[in-house]
Amino acid sequence: MTAPVAAKNPPERKALPPFEALRAFDAVARLGGIRRAARWLSRDHAVVSRHLRVIETWSGVKLVDRTPAGVVLTEAGRVYHKALACALDDIAHATLDLLNQGQHNRLVVWSSPGFALHWLSRRLNEFERKVPGLDIEVRPADSSPDFASHQADIDIRFVATYEDELDDNPALRHEPIAEAEIIAVASRAYRDEQPSVKSPSDLLQHQLLHESGYTNWEEWLKSYGVDTEGKVTGPRLWQGHLTMDAAHHGNGIALANTLVARAELESGALVNMAANKPEFPRRTGQYVLIARKDRWNDSLVRRFRGWLKDRLLKDMPDVAPGG
């Protein structure tokens, strides 16, 4: 007669390694590198490397091989990660269920402030009508959310085509939703009263209005071949809507894109300082919708993405990406 098999007792909780080390190992294994994992976790790469050493020291098992091309999982690392990934997914889903009790129709959208103020907030009730019971939160922010900690479901950013591209995070997916020209705007009175702008370098003689720093103006002028080293000055107002408001009141020249400044340009409250001047070829940027790759086709994310693209195209056919 075969002896009964004893029930397998679960290990005590103290047998678990530090949770941050587990998250770091999982990110490295999924994304294929320490620096990619660091970007995903919003940590310094040295911190991620330290977490890897911690878990290897704690377990006494080598989990990764460090090679000139990067880190590679050992056989033990692959086996361990397969089980760990399932456990972390369970924890993540359980936590989301806990946080979203009674809120299964909740959608959190972060957005660059200009887009949120001048376009999204004015049309949001239309999407709410399409999704009865929707609890939507829109947060204007100059920085992107931490998708790894589920800080947001969707992020909307504006990226100039002459700047660096979006960070190539393999855990995220992005899609262009609109394209707009980036222009220098001022009030009609300022344009008529101040020295004329005939070339991009002429702008350095004017009062330039800035958001949090000089970077936006410097990069825009550099795209026209202007040497900006130590030459860009002017007040910093921290928000794009404040620079546009200051420009509207004749206090200088602001950078704006034609999507957020459309109403002011059409009414004449603001004018394009470089309109119809061949010395100023078009400089454009794109609004990009970003979401976690593993949630790209979740019902609310998919519906919001579809509505947003359709509504933008209906409002402004000329802003369609590549249009």
Stretch 197-214: mean pLDDT: 97
Where helices occur in 15-159 by DSSP H, the ranges are: 19-31, 34-41, 45-59, 75-99, 113-115, 121-130
pLDDT at 288 over 80: yes
- For residue range 233-273, what is the model confidence (pLDDT) as tens digits? 999 999 999 999 999 999 999 999 999 999 999 999 999 99
- For residue range 149-185, what is the model confidence (pLDDT) as tens digits? 788 999 999 999 998 677 778 789 999 999 999 999 9
> Between vectors from CA 21 to CA 142 and to CA 53, what angle results, nearest 5°?
115
Stretch 285-309: mean pLDDT: 95
Structural domain boundaries in the chain: 15-99, 102-323
Task: For domain 102-323, say whether CATH 3.40.190.290 is its number.
Answer: yes
CA distance 132 to 288: 26
Residue identified by tokens 């004749």 is 250
For residue 300, give the H/E element and its range.
helix 299-315
CA distance 235 to 248: 15
Of 290, 303, 286, 241, the closest CA to residue 110 belongs to 290
Residue identified by tokens 């855990």 is 171
pLDDT at 98 over 80: no
Report residue 214 CA to chain centroid gap.
20
Report pLDDT for 146.
86
| DSSP type of residue 210 | B
Of 206, 211, 257, 252, the closest CA to residue 232 belongs to 206
CA distance 100 to 104: 6
pLDDT at 198 over 80: yes
Q: If DSSP codes are grouped into helix, strand and coil, which group holds residue 97?
A: helix
322: left (phi over 0), alpha (psi -120 to 50) or beta: left
CA distance 45 to 114: 32
Task: For domain 15-99, say whether CATH 1.10.10.10 is its number.
Answer: yes
Of 287, 283, 293, 284, the closest CA to residue 309 belongs to 287
Q: Are strands 154-160 and 284-292 parallel, antiparallel or unpaired?
A: antiparallel
